[in-house]
Amino acid sequence: ESSQRAVELSGRLPAREQALVKGHHALARGLRGLAGGEDGPARLREAEGTYRALIATDSGVAEAWYGLGDALFHVPLNRDSAQASVDRMSASLQAFRRTLALDSTFHLAYSHLITMYQGLSVSNSGVVLDGERILLVADSAGVRAAGGVAGLTAKQSAARAIGFELARAWSRADQDATAPVLTLAQGFFGAGMPDSAVATIDRALERPSLRTPGLTLWSGIYRFYA
């Protein structure tokens, strides 16, 4: 309702801001639609088109790149062929990275990228990172294209390392938020390094602004496994 009202009041805004308002409304409808009530993927495609049109005229708008990445990120994977889904994931990843290149404090882009890189570091995901694009490795031909088993392992390790670096960058960009701390700690834990997860949270707890019950609880949980 809020985004609909924003669209209704957007007529006096400059063209760029009007596009951002309309893109956000389509994105909001799309995300709501995924839970039922309307065709979420169609609204996400509408948002994608709005953001692409804006980027075509002004490629320096971080919010437009983020909106594009978010719209692509949330389209269900079963809507297209496997290759089309992977291509969409690649475009989403590139859009989020462009967002941070334009504005390193755009915090929402960090969480999406970290999620993507964590997924790309898993051995049975069926996809792998290859530079700035994602490869489908669901069959032997895909594995060969990725450099064989050794190439897959190296690319998975590279994705994990990028995810860790992004989590650290997010922590630096938003020093008083617990979300990046937890994301970094969860990444260490998922990689089988509970000691590093404990150390990450304990360092954060030294900051008065981060001494929250939630972080204290997670410190105890990770310490149990360490």
Whole-number pLDDT of residue 138 = 81
* Residues written for the chain: 226
pLDDT band of residue 82 (cuts 50, 70, 90) is: confident
Return the H-helix or E-strand segment holding 133. strand 133-136
Contact between residue 108 and residue 161 where contact means Cβ atoms under 8 Å apart: no
CA distances from 81 to 76, 85, 98 (A): 11, 6, 26
**pTM, rounded to two decimals:** 0.88
Which range among 98-107, 126-135, 136-145, 175-184 shows the weakest confidence by mean pLDDT? Answer: 136-145
| 151: phi then psi, degrees, rounded to nearest 5 | -65, -40
**Using 50, 70 and 90 to split pLDDT, how confident is the model at 95?**
very high
Nearest Cα residue to 207 out of 168, 176, 180 = 176
At residue 76, the pLDDT reads: 86
Specify the amino acid at residue 68.
L
> Mean pLDDT over residues 40-63, rounded?
96
Rounded to 5°, the CA angle 123-128-129 comes to 130
Question: Is the C-alpha dihedral spanning 163, 169, 189, 217 positive or negative?
Answer: negative
